[in-house]
Structure 1
Amino acid sequence: MAALSPAQAQETRDTSTSSESAGGEIIVTARKRSERLLDVPVAVSAVSSEDLARYASNSLSAISQQVPALVIGESTNQVGGSINLRGVGSGISNPSTETAVTMNFDGVPISYGNAVRLGQIDIQRVEVLKGPQALFYGKNSPGGVISLVSADPGSFFEARLRTGYEFQAEQRFAEAMVSGPLTDTVGARIVGYYSKEDGWFRNIAQPITGVTAGAGAKTLNAEDVFVRGTLTFEPTPATRIKFKINYGQRDRDGVGPTGLAQIVECPNGGVSVFGATDCKLNRTFYDAALTPGTIASDPSFKDGVPFVKSSQFLTSLSVDQDLSDSYGLSSVTGYYRLREQSIDSFSFSNIPYYGASNDVIAKGFSQELRLTSDLDGPLNFMIGGFFQDATFTIGQAFTVDFGTPFLVGSTFYDVHTTAYSGFAQVRYKPVEQIEIAAGGRLSREDKKLTGTSFSLPFEVLDPKKHYNDFSPDITITYKPDSNLTAYAAYREGFTSGGFNTVPTALRTSANTSRPALDLSYDQMTAKGFEVGLKGYLAERQMLFDLVGYTYKYNDLQLSRYDNASFSQLTQNAGGARVQGVEFNLTMQPHAIPGLQVRTSLAYNDAHYTNFIGGCYNGQSISDGCNLALRDPSQPASATNYYTAQDQSGQQLVRAPEWTFSAGFNYDTEFSENLGGGLSFDMNHSSSYLTQTEASPATRQKSYWQFNGTLSLNGGKDKPWELALVGRNLTNRLIRVTGAVVGSTAGQYGTAAPRQGDILASVGAPRSVLLQLTVRSSLFGR
């Protein structure tokens, strides 16, 4: 994603806010200092503001199409989203599970999948750091970091108005931005965004007298609001203060979280027992209003009409202080709050057999301090500390209604997390061309679980957990000249364990006959090696990036469906190996000004090395469900079935073995006041599993997707631009997550159980967008 230019960018502490240097090269802050992408000894995919605007990428799901090996999608439950990078992720099961791939917004780490839904508007650049990251992004991350850096006010006044219409979802949106200096030392930037859409997918639930009123809304509609304000203050050249405040809201009326999912296969005669008639992957879904009995079973179900209401608030304060020419102190203070409420039938059919309500609140304060040296000698260092205090609460009710409503659970959970870590790195240059960097992060996290079941305090095993880790990071970098960088690194990563917040009844003082459950799962760790080679070729007309890696993961955190609790749970796999090679090439021929051609190819072998996992619903003994007999003292039978399978050697979830992309941009000027652009990209992914239990029917087959943009603009600086943007032009529907619907399948672990229906959450179909952008330069400065 880097632009090519002969200009050089010098390394500085992280004071730059632009994504490109004056010469056109992408500048990143992957090591908390501004460096050319070429110089960074890390596997980084950088997406500039120009790349984001080209395809109107204002969501993480859209951004993922520009980054190989990154699979992102919204989930069908209160978790909000799933993120997998090189096949590593924390699943979609438990809303209190911290993601293995951490999102970082303007220096503030956010570890909850719901942040996928926070609008990515007016972003200066996106940096995707692959593999374990322990040193530079607040919280330790075993899978990688997605760092989003929003735009800052510049040294002159600018304004932008952008509006558009997406034809397939009938989306109407408008975005406005105003930025500039208020005084010689104070700058401000404000951006606002509003969008309303009918949605790509159609709700075909029908009313049934005495059972359900049918669809609460005819389509998977959405209304989005996003606002960000930025203030910068530089009282002296040595002091730089930046304050950002973000608010995002997304509402779906009449449709709950399962509007993104549908039953796509029905092996029992092609018809689901739940009433889905087509059993195909298409643009229809079922989401019916709850039954009267379900509504009456718990006040949280309100009027029984499905909905999702989500709001997020994020604020950050960063202070950079040059203590002298050689030392700098940096502080990043953050506060994040999420509130998400939803009601849904979770039946994926015309008949709402189930009903679930969720009320999630996540909030956290974080503080990072960093002291960095910039000495003239061969030795430099960085040292710092991080603190986080966070709470996660969820109130939920779950009812089953097969004629007689039964309130299975009404629970409230409070998970309190306190995290501390210290980190340091020393960089030594024995000669000018070689740098040896060694450091690590020492982490401790304490978690405590409390709550109620049916309004009574519940009792669980080990409600207090403590997690400790030390993750070293050692890198050797060799730069024979300014056009080539080679590096080798050993890295480790960590994410803490936690608690499953199941919606079913738990032991209380009033029902001591029920066993006290252990709801905890263990921490995950990663360690391994990475080597890379980056450089320019052909008189700097070509930029390449070659990376090889191998990492071992212990206690990988995964999702599994648990019949006893009617929910997805987080579990630990014994071990996994992720290894592969990635190659990126960008060409910008001197003979054709304005043309950029890019391609990437990635091979990723991600598999379990040691994993005894649960069986998928409908899995027979001959299909591998042949371990852990329910009662080992008795012979196998229809009532004494096997419960586990050996998944060692199996592919990780959402981990395609091969990904390939190729594309080009061509920008030209027809005259002084008229220009145009043409872009085209194609992306290929090999097949991958979408379910931890690995039912073959949940596999997403290999696929291609194609994107293109055609634009006209007002020439230099593009004071106005009219663009026609097309994504997924062939309308290929992709399964992001998958599952076997448990209640449609026979008991697993028997000789020939009935096969269950296959459920999948679906990625975006074809999108065709007409977009107009007007900048203040149209009217002069």
Structure 2
Amino acid sequence: MNTLRARIASGGRASGLRTALLCGAALGGVVALPSAAFAQDSETAASQDDDFGERVIIVQARRQNETLQEVPVTVTSIGGETLQRYNVDQVADITSRVPTLNVQSGGSGSGGQISLRGVGSSNISAAFDSAVAFEYDGVVVSTMRLVQAGFFDVEQIDVLRGPQSLFFGKSATGGVLSLRSANPTADWEVGMRGSYEFEEKGYLINGYISGPITDTLGIRIAAQFNDIDEFQLLQENTPAVNQERGLTDFIGRLTLDFNPSDRFRANLKVQYTKNENDGAIGTAEIGCGANGVADSIFLLGGAVNLPAGYDCNTNDQRYYLTDAAGPLAGPVPGNSPADGRNGVPFGETEIWFGRLQFDLDLSDTLTLTSVTGLLNMDAIDFDAYSYGGFIPGPNGTRLPGGAGASDPINTLEQYSQELRLASDFDGAFNFMLGAFYEDRTFVFDTSQQGVNISFGGADPVTGFTYDWDKIHTTKTEALSFFGSAMIDITDKLELSGGIRWTDETKVQTISVPYVHAGFAAFGGAFLSSGFFSGPINFADDNLSPEVTLRYQATDDLNIFASYKTGFKSGGIDNSALPSNSLSQAAASGDFSSLIFQSEEAEGGEIGFKSQWAGRSFTLNATAYYYVFTDLQVQNFNAVTVQFATSNAGELTTKGVDLETRWITPVDGLNISANLSYLDAEYTDTFIQPLGISTVDLNGRRGSQAPEWSGNIAADWTIPLSDSLELFLSGNAAYNDGYITDEATLNDFVQPSFWTIDSNVSIGHPDGKWKLALIATNLTDEIFVITSGGRPFLEPGVGDDLVLTQNRGRQVFAEISFRF
């Protein structure tokens, strides 16, 4: 029996899981690894009652409803109640609850990065799909710009570790981060929440109304607005108009759930997201390297050499983010929204997302599921990517000296369609057959100052102060078919597995409508205005098999072993600059240097899930070993100002994930803990191209791969009366440090650190009202997520680093109502 419906109807395996919710609801926090999660207070599709009247958490790790305790996949689940308790409104905020998860928001390329168990994809490349697939309400989205946007009204977040290509397709070599938003409720319900954050001086308000319009149609309307005044405070004497960089997020979502009969259900979600900010760089500090000084902004072979201006203090959360220098802040080509803003950084993103899912029971044993996804994104962000610089003014003043400005305009249109046919036979055999199609058009249009030639004068013909305007248009089509089977060999032994075939084609064209007239003196070293590449083609196909054996030793002990493979398509780099790699390719007519190969994974894991002492204590563990070949990597040469896109020869990851939960004898007090050991190492030749490094990284530890990480949480619900309860909660997360780049043997290393979150609230036991004081990162621990060379370093002298960091301490006062 393979679906939750069948299992609960049989009264069999579900009985071994009947305390899953008791563990979760009591803790109100995170449950990690292949175990159970925590239910929300309201009835949702993420949980169901079993034959004992208790709640169990439902996941779709194999594209069907299964209890989290039974599914033979390593999953961490976080319920919506936990997210609300800690004011989690960004994907990056959940890292303290999922060991080895690393999330970076920001960047002018993909706009974000998610890595898991040391495997991820660069945030500076808009050409890469993410190695950790981002699934939003059943649709795998290709842009990490959704990571930048806030999220809310979430039913559940599931983090699936390890390759998941069989059920989640071509972008899940490292795992899946799956987010499910809340659905309409059976009865009319209204909820409101407001909070004020004291450190960044921001406020957040959201609300929803949900209920049945008719006996067969439910509706949920939800919206959220978040305004932060001091997302970043600039260093004293930073020459910038905005001394306090802020941001705003608005999200609105409509959900309709139509259930006209027992055999058919349709669910429609339409969401609009608008994000505005005062610059794309985000929380990036500049670290002064071994020479201990702030290196100058070295331009035009030293003809222009600007003092950096920043103070090299990387822990004070004061950023030196200057506006563009006067000679570079003139007109912008390409009808850009950055034109006329005089070099003042800003960012705007608009996203429309739609998903329609229907489930049709063709018979008592066969169900057809259709998932249609639409995504439309328009994003622009403008900033000065020299990360420093000023022009000395009169009386010791500083004038803006930012160089390397660009205005990346990203537009995306994505359509996807998935069909699945699943069986629910009473016998030992069940199957799933599926097909997937995706059509995607991505346009990356940017004017750039890669050389900053306008320090010598604006374009005498157009007056533009930018070196060029280039447009990469990438058309992607993907088609895949997959099938899986589950066989109950005995009542206790299940064999499951399947295979997915994927065929993907990409066609890119590159046009350069404008090049600064001053480059004519370089004798053809740069492209000319009007360049057009013609079609650049990439195609690949892949077979990704998977097999799992699960043994239910007792009602309280499940053991599983899996062999898995993964695939992430290659493509054509869209970061090549006309000053070097692109002009060289154009001169020869050979654009093969822009093509990167597909990434593949192979390996397996074994694990067990167990409950003890009357199911008051849970112990779960997973051990894994995976080899990733042709790992897609992008880095940056800070001296030549060139992006290097390549494939690492091989990355081997192995480790153990451990999770425990304890429902203590003290009424309402529960404790949980997670611990992960990770050994990630480059195990084949890996030399960065384009002069970034001549050192082979074979044998070096992988980046974003802490050897030890984990967390411990305690939650205590104290009834004060029939209508009043006190809730106390804390979470402490540990990370023993990691390498933050993959360029040399001496890349920046983030030392070990702790973060602490806490929550104190008082309110009605049924959630009718609540007052809360919430702190995240209470000790204000600042750590580096990624690093790279600061652009425009003087050859042989400069060694400053751009260090992207987490947000600091946040303290919220919150009030919420539900009726």
TM-score by length of 1: 0.89
The aligned residue for residue 636 of structure 1 is none
* 8 Å contact kept, 1:616–1:695: no
Superposed displacement of residue 383, structure 1: 0.3
Offset, 1:422: 0.2
**Does the aligned pair in 2 maintain the 1:6–1:540 contact within 8 Å?**
no
Q: Partners in 1 of 2:177 and 2:380 — Cα distance?
A: 26
Map of 1:623 onto structure 2: none
Q: Secondary structure at the match of 1:395?
A: strand
State the distance in 2 between where 1:616 and 1:500 align.
Answer: 14
1:375 aligns with 2:425: yes
- Secondary structure of the 2:330 match is helix
- 8 Å CA contact 2:638–2:790 kept in 1: the answer is no
Over the matched positions of the two proteins, sequence identity in percent amounts to 29
Displacement of 1:2 in angstroms is 5.9
Question: In the aligned structure 1, how far is the partner of 2:470 from the partner of 2:683?
Answer: 36
* Post-superposition offset of 1:33: 2.0
Query: Which among 410, 429, 433 is matched to residue 488 of structure 2?
Result: 429
Structure-2 residue corresponding to 1:739:
788
Residues 2, 46 of structure 1: 8 Å contact kept: no
Report if the CA contact (8 A) 2:106-2:148 is conserved. Answer: no
* Whole-angstrom CA distance in 2 between matches of 1:514 and 1:225: 47
Specify the code of the residue in structure 2 equivalent to 1:404: G
2:257 to 214, 232, 247: 232
Alignment partner, residue 810 of structure 2: 767
Q: Structure 2 CA distance, aligned partners of 1:696 and 1:110?
A: 35
SS at match of 2:167: coil
User: Match for 2:388 among 320, 329, 349?
Assistant: 349
* Equivalent residues of 2:111, 2:124 under 8 A apart: no
Residues 438, 512 of structure 1: alpha-carbon distance in 2 compared, 3 angstrom cutoff: closer
Distance 1:173 1:511, change over 3 A: closer
Judged with a 3 Å threshold, the aligned counterparts in structure 2 of structure 1 residues 107 and 138 are, in CA distance, closer, same or farther, namely farther
1:651 has 2:734 as partner = no
Q: Is residue 284 of structure 1 aligned with residue 309 of structure 2?
A: no
- Greater Cα offset, 417-426 or 344-353: 344-353
CA distance in 2 between partners of 1:353 and 1:2 (Å):
56
Select between 198-207 and 50-59 the one with higher mean Cα deviation.
Answer: 198-207
Gap change, CA 1:192 and 1:705, over 3 Å in 2: same
Equivalents in 2 of 1:179, 1:481: separation in Å? 41
Amino acid paired to 1:196: D
List per-residue Cα deviations over 1:695-737 (Å, max 9, x = no partner). 63521111111111000012x2121011111011111111111
1:264-303 equivalence runs, <5 A: 264-273=287-296, 274-281=307-314, 282-296=316-330, 298-299=332-333, 300=336, 301-302=338-339, 303=341
Q: Check the 8 A contact 1:4/1:540 in 2, yes or no.
A: no
Compare 505-514 and 481-490 and name the one that shifted more.
505-514
Task: Give how far 1:481 is off.
Answer: 2.9
**Equivalence map 1:621-770=2 (5 Å):** 643-694=693-744, 696=746, 698-714=748-764, 716-746=765-795, 753-770=796-813
2:489 partner SS? strand
- Rounded to whole Å, the distance in 2 between the matches of 1:329 and 1:429 is 23
Within 5 A, what are the aligned runs for 1:130-141? 130-141=161-172
How big is each residue's C-alpha offset from its partner over 1:454-501, in whole Å with a ceiling of 9 and x where there is no partner? 355646598111011000010001112332211000000101001111
Looking at structure 2, the residues matched to 309 and 733 of structure 1 have their Cα atoms a distance apart, in angstroms, of: 27
Corresponding letter in the other structure for 1:712: I
Distance change >3 Å, CA 320–CA 457, structure 1 → 2:
farther
Alignment of 1:530 onto 2:605: yes
Partner secondary structure for residue 644 of structure 1:
coil
Of residues 456, 459, 462 in structure 2, which corresponds to 1:404? 456
Work out which of the residue numbers 549, 556, 567 in structure 1 matches 2:631: 556
Moved more, 405-414 or 659-668: 405-414
Q: Distance in 2 between matches of 1:512 and 1:705?
A: 50
Displacement after TM superposition at 1:528 (Å): 0.3
* SS of 2:792 mapped into structure 1: helix
Among 155, 177, 197, the residue aligned to 1:124: 155
Provide the secondary structure at the position in 1 that maps to 2:368: strand
Residue in structure 1 matched with residue 364 of structure 2 by the alignment:
325
Partner Cα distance (1:548, 1:477) in 2: 15
Question: Aligned-pair RMSD on alpha carbons?
Answer: 2.5
Which segments of 5 or more consecutive residues in structure 1 lack a partner in the other structure? 10-14, 208-213, 620-642, 747-752, 777-781
| Distance of 2:148 and 2:92 partners within structure 1 | 9
Q: Check whether the contact 2:129–2:171 (CA below 8 A) recurs between aligned residues.
A: no
Q: Is 1:414 aligned to residue 473 of structure 2?
A: yes
Partner residue of 1:102 out of 122, 129, 133: 133
Residues of 2 paired with 1:290 and 1:398: CA distance? 12
Q: Does structure 2 conserve the Cα–Cα contact (< 8 Å) formed by 1:459 and 1:516? A: no
Counterpart of 2:244, as a letter, is T
SS of corresponding position for 1:530: strand
Instruction: Summarize the alignment of residues 542-553 of structure 1 with structure 2, pairs less than 5 Å apart.
Output: 542-553=617-628
SS in 2 for 1:45: strand
Q: Shift of residue 345 of structure 1?
A: 0.9
Code of the residue aligned with 1:293 in structure 2: it is: P
- Aligned-residue offset at 1:260: 2.1
Number of positions where the alignment pairs a residue of Structure 1 with one of Structure 2: 731
Q: Equivalents in 1 of 2:742, 2:584: separation in Å? A: 36
Is residue 129–residue 568 contact of structure 2 (8 Å, CA) maintained in 1?
A: yes
Match of 1:626 in 2: none
Shift, 1:586, TM fit: 1.0
Deviating beyond 6 angstroms after TM superposition, the runs of 4 or more aligned structure 1 residues are 6-9, 506-512
The answer to whether the 8 Å contact 2:367/2:422 transfers is yes
Q: 8 Å contact 2:608–2:620 — kept in the other structure?
A: yes
Residue equivalent to 2:281: 258
- Worse overlay, 84-93 or 367-376: 84-93
Give 1:508 shift. 9.5
Decide whether aligned partners of structure 1 residues 593 and 295 sit closer, same or farther in structure 2, where only a CA change above 3 A counts.
same
* Alpha-carbon spacing, 1:567–1:310, altered in 2? closer, same or farther (3 Å): farther
Partners in 2 of 1:410 and 1:584 — Cα distance? 51
Q: What CA distance in whole angstroms lies between the structure 2 residues aligned with 1:430 and 1:74? A: 46
SS of aligned partner of 2:408: strand
CA distance in 2, matches of 1:452, 1:459: 4
Instruction: After superposing the two structures, state which structure 1 stretch, 46-55 or 35-44, moved more.
Output: 46-55
- Tell me what 2:79 maps to: 48
**Higher alpha-carbon deviation: 131-140 or 662-671:** 131-140
Q: How does 1:556-595 map to 2 (within 5 A)?
A: 556-562=631-637, 566-589=641-664, 591-595=665-669
Q: Residue type matched to 1:17 in 2? A: A
Distance change >3 Å, CA 731–CA 378, structure 1 → 2: same
Q: 1:52 to 1:36 in 2, by over 3 A?
A: same
Q: 1:511 offset after TM fit, Å?
A: 11
Distance 1:317 1:721 in 2: 34
Residues 773 and 510 from structure 1, CA distance in 2 versus in 1: closer, same or farther, beyond 3 angstroms? Answer: closer
Asked whether the 8 Å contact 1:16–1:34 carries over to 2, the reply is: no
Aligned partner of 2:379 in structure 1 is 340
Partners in 2 of 1:379 and 1:327 — Cα distance?
13
Matched position secondary structure for 1:38:
coil
TM-score, normalised via structure 2 length: 0.85
Give, in whole Å, the separation in 2 of the partners of 1:318 and 1:760. 42
Q: Distance in 2 between matches of 1:447 and 1:231?
A: 35
Number of the residue aligned with 1:750: none
* Other-structure match for 1:88: 119
| CA gap 1:149/1:240 in 2 versus in 1, 3 angstroms | same
Does the CA-based 8 Å contact 1:287-1:347 persist in structure 2? Answer: no
Q: Rate the CA distance shift 1:167–1:2 in 2: closer, same or farther, 3 A.
A: farther
> What SS does structure 2 have at the residue aligned with 1:62?
helix
Q: Would you say 1:153 and 2:171 are equivalent positions?
A: no
Residue 513 to residue 387, structure 1, CA distance change in 2 (3 Å): closer
Alignment correspondent of 2:247: 222
Q: Is the counterpart of residue 17 in structure 1 residue 45 in structure 2? A: yes
Deviations 1:539-577 (A, max 9, x none): 100122100000000100112114687343431001110
Could you tell me which amino acid in structure 2 is paired with residue 740 of structure 1?
G
Are residues 416 and 512 of structure 1, via their aligned partners in 2, closer, same or farther at CA, if it must alter by over 3 Å?
closer
SS at match of 1:4: helix
Contact 2:310/2:320, CA 8 A, preserved across alignment: no
